[in-house]
Structure 1
Amino acid sequence: MFKNYKKIFFIGIGGIGMSALAKYFLNKDKIIYGYDILRSDICISLEKQGSKITYCQKNLDFILDNNLFKDKESCLIVYTPAIKNDNIFLNFFTNNNFNVKKRSEILSKICEKKFLVAVAGTHGKTTTTSIISHILNNTGFNITAFIGGISRNENSNLIGGEIDSKLIIVEADEYDKSFLKLSPNIAIITSVDMDHSDIYTKTSSLKKAYHQFISKIASDGVLIIENKALQELGNINFSNIITYSFSEDTDFRISSYEITNRNSSFNFINSNSKFFFTNEIVFCLPGKHNILNALASILVCIQLDVKKEDIVKSINSFLGIKRRFEIHFESKNKVFIDDYAHHPSEIKETLETLFKMYPNRKLTLIFQPHLYTRTRDFMNEFADVLSLPNHLLLLDIFPAREKPIRGIDSSKLLKKCRNKNKELVKKETVLNILNKSNFDVLVTMGAGNISSLVEQIKNEYFVK
């Protein structure tokens, strides 16, 4: 499939999806080059594995020196839709007739003629994909898994891939309609909430894309879908459907759950009210949303005939994902948690879980909005959920791939928030502000570069 390519250049190599592909091809002894705007920990890790990366957008010499890409037929160029059209590398390779492909096209090629498990949904994709991958990897399955986050068990967003496997697990990303290039044998849909209005102008267009994704499932395959998502999508033209939720009118439902310390414990029953496990499962991630992610993962493993005792052992040994309700410090006086939530629904679920875990304690939230379009589209919803913490520190909007939208900024959002203690802050002033506040439960949250604050906060307050 990729035998003719000796060199692969990734434009946006530091992205979580792109870097997993780069690792995959490193395992196939390809020579990896790339560009990214920031030398992140992911990029540093790729460099240590032999990748050559430039961080200067105008550095065409990087690819022209030594005729690195003289032979076009042996070079593959991969880019992410987050890359802007004026990118100098993208234009160079396109204008010179190199073989230039989107990340989603390459991923779909890797998945061809494989048994594919694809996890779709506005929320919960990364957690669900990670749990499935951990269970299967932990029970001896030969898998390749592309994860949209860093598994704490493997310290990687790629599991397996060293040896060709017939079973692949991927996140089916709805952005740019990338998931429509996949043809899964087992598909999971965790949720269907409006997002990515730069791609989906109406809710109906988002729902249409999900129906198209379902139509790509193999005729003898199965769709595992959360009940609320099923209701959102309406009539589905597919026969083999398994539903799950907390409600009674589903094939599998959570029958009991409890948050104890850092963990969740739960059990579930089928439509005949029969318990699946004798005892409750202990799971490292708290919150009802995470319990549903775990249930969806278990249902996939049931389809693959994984033994019950192996599922339990693997769930118990699952350590979570970096930046998904990641507890960095916990004591009677101080707590520090980092989370990736960036959509109002996700923020609400995470905050509700925090209030249950730490009742009667003061919660300080440092939040960085992600994308101007998302902030514009959900301005009131963001204001509602961001009004819940005792103390709100709101950062500027992280633009990612977008240009500013006139009249849409964090100042406008802050004015709509109802917290008594709220302020607009710059990322570089956060530590000074925290020094003046007697914070109790501290949470950093967002999908942008707020993650770079985590180590700074840990070193300042929690590392002795």
Structure 2
Amino acid sequence: MQLSDVGRVYFIGIGGIGMSAVARYFRSRGIEVSGYDKTSTVLTRRLEQEGMAIHYDAQPESLPAPGDDLLVVYTPAIPKNFPELVQVQQGGYHLMKRSEVLGLISREMRCVGIAGTHGKTTTTTITTYLMATAGLDPSAFLGGIARDFDGNYVHGDSDWVVVEADEYDRSFLRLSPEIAVVLSTDPDHLDIYGDHGQMLETGFRAYAKRVKPGGQLIVRYDVAEHFADIENVMVSTFGIGAGDFCAQNIRVEDGAFHFDLREPDGHLINGLRTALPGRHNVENAVAACAVTRLAGGNQEDLREGLANFHGIARRFETVLKNGRLVIIDDYAHHPTELTAAISAARELYPNRTIRGVFQPHLYSRTQDFAAGFARALDLLDEAIIIPIYPAREEPIPGVTSQLVYGMMKNEKRRLLSETQMLEATAELKDGVLLLLGAGNIDALVTRVVAQHRKTTNDDQ
């Protein structure tokens, strides 16, 4: 089925952050969009307001009638025995994975693909904003809600498209980017790849080989050795203190990071500023600057864009701040991401007590990285761990939050239910509280903040 033949699109799992971006793409083109999701959320309600019909009962009879103009899109996170998916597979529908659709959309465009086990959403969004500031007017599919665009899909009028290239289920192998970025290649999704070696070979290296001949591959300097033999592309590196695109002279002034950017030819762009917290975000910004420069943006575009960029929901998002207490919501769900978030909090608030609540995401990930989670959470002054959010998975015997808790050395740690966590955080009067995880902890964030707004005057 060609995209030009599509008159109706039905999404199984329309409320997912990646699925909803594709749904918005079709809706922006006047195509009829409908779908199913498990629960009503802020995002699904927004989609309904935008004209998409959504239902929340998983019944095959709720499917639209098949036809040559109907495309059904699903995500691999949907169980194989899900009733609607089974009916579609048996009923003569045109069915595609989200990644297949994204590949078709981007194939005829000048695609920028941002890949990596950490930092994809932030870097994809910064890149989109910088390119827009540079007048390149890209479309974009984002993995989070960008404050500057008020959404996760950006409709541009040029032939540039910026895509978050997801390694889960090898989805990024559907893309054919003109410019590709690899931010990191840490082990993750081992339920898909088996081991780290396979993740590198059949994941990230295979993705790098998808770059169009004559295109650009930008990789973090410390993983460059894995991509040295990629042929027919220009390979550049980036990083802090190293790389062809290199951040130098990093300093914190007035609550923001400032740095200078050295480019491959030695040219220095002085005095770039970003309000995003943490050195990992300086590195993300360097990657975004590299893409924008290679796409044709000038140095003043970088300066203006970085200074004005407002960030993404749930990426170190300050959700409450008063004279004594700061509450920060972050999507961190891998040990490296936890460490980055905690380190950023310490750098911004060096004299405060740093506490954290962590909700592990997936049984498989918890099993694979329990020791790493424990080491990262030990960096907190006080830690609370709540039950695992299973998402698409069935329980694994012996794998609970207790596994992480038992490996920690921090004496000020607690293993609590969600209700107990709400009670415990309600008693906090000062310091910094990090709410960490990729599950449904965002719904709990709202309740944590509401408890404190009852008793304090929030100044933000």
SS in 1 for 2:5: coil
Q: Does 2:262 correspond to 1:266?
A: no
SS in 2 for 1:360: coil
1:219 maps to which of 205, 213, 216: 213
How far apart, in 2, do the equivalents of 1:364 and 1:222 lie? 42
Coordinate RMSD, CA, aligned: 1.6
Alpha-carbon contact 1:215-1:238 (below 8 Å) kept: no
1:407 maps to which of 395, 398, 401: 398
Alpha-carbon contact 1:261-1:357 (below 8 Å) kept: no
Alpha-carbon contact 2:121-2:164 (below 8 Å) kept: yes
TM-score by length of 2: 0.95
Residue 296 of structure 2 aligns to which amino acid in structure 1? D
Number of residues paired by the alignment? Answer: 453
Correspondence for 1:121: 116
Q: Does 2:329 correspond to 1:338?
A: yes
How far apart, in 2, do the equivalents of 1:77 and 1:252 lie? 42
> How far is the alpha carbon of 1:435 from its aligned partner?
2.6
> How far is the alpha carbon of 1:456 from its aligned partner?
1.6
Following superposition of structure 1 onto structure 2, how do residues 27-176 of structure 1 map, counting pairs within 5 Å?
27-57=28-58, 59-63=59-63, 68-69=64-65, 71-160=66-155, 163=157, 165-176=158-169
Residue 141 of structure 1 aligns to which amino acid in structure 2? L
How far apart, in 1, do the equivalents of 2:91 and 2:409 lie? 54
Residue 28 of structure 1 aligns to which amino acid in structure 2? R
SS in 2 for 1:84: coil
Which runs of structure 1 show a deviation greater than 6 angstroms over 4 or more consecutive aligned residues? Answer: none
How far apart, in 2, do the equivalents of 1:181 and 1:127 lie? 21
SS in 2 for 1:199: helix
Residue 292 of structure 1 aligns to which amino acid in structure 2? E
Alpha-carbon contact 1:411-1:424 (below 8 Å) kept: yes
> How far is the alpha carbon of 1:253 from its aligned partner?
1.5
Following superposition of structure 1 onto structure 2, how do residues 393-432 of structure 1 map, counting pairs within 5 Å?
393-432=384-423
SS in 1 for 2:191: coil
How far apart, in 2, do the equivalents of 1:36 and 1:145 lie? 23
Change (3 A) 1:436 1:142: closer
Residue 246 of structure 1 aligns to which amino acid in structure 2? I
Alpha-carbon contact 1:284-1:316 (below 8 Å) kept: yes
Correspondence for 2:241: 247
> How far is the alpha carbon of 1:438 from its aligned partner?
3.9
SS in 1 for 2:78: coil
SS in 1 for 2:297: coil
SS in 1 for 2:395: coil
Correspondence for 1:447: 438
SS in 1 for 2:68: helix
How far apart, in 1, do the equivalents of 2:332 and 2:232 lie? 31
TM-score by length of 1: 0.94
- For residues 204-223 of structure 1, the C-alpha deviation after alignment (integer angstroms, 9 at most, x for no partner) is 11111211111111111011
SS in 1 for 2:103: helix
SS in 2 for 1:198: helix
How far apart, in 1, do the equivalents of 2:445 and 2:133 lie? 30
How far apart, in 2, do the equivalents of 1:447 and 1:261 lie? 30
Residue 24 of structure 2 aligns to which amino acid in structure 1? K
Correspondence for 2:15: 14
> How far is the alpha carbon of 1:428 from its aligned partner?
3.1
How far apart, in 2, do the equivalents of 1:130 and 1:376 lie? 31
In structure 1, the gaps of 5 or more residues are none
SS in 2 for 1:117: strand
Change (3 A) 1:234 1:241: closer
Alpha-carbon contact 1:214-1:238 (below 8 Å) kept: no
How far apart, in 2, do the equivalents of 1:303 and 1:437 lie? 48
Alpha-carbon contact 1:390-1:420 (below 8 Å) kept: no
Change (3 A) 1:111 1:359: same
Change (3 A) 1:428 1:401: same
How far apart, in 1, do the equivalents of 2:17 and 2:304 lie? 28
> How far is the alpha carbon of 1:200 from its aligned partner?
0.9
1:382 maps to which of 368, 373, 380: 373
Correspondence for 1:285: 276
SS in 2 for 1:268: strand
Residue 333 of structure 1 aligns to which amino acid in structure 2? R
> How far is the alpha carbon of 1:437 from its aligned partner?
4.0
Alpha-carbon contact 2:324-2:430 (below 8 Å) kept: no
Q: Does 2:196 correspond to 1:203?
A: yes
Residue 158 of structure 1 aligns to which amino acid in structure 2? Y
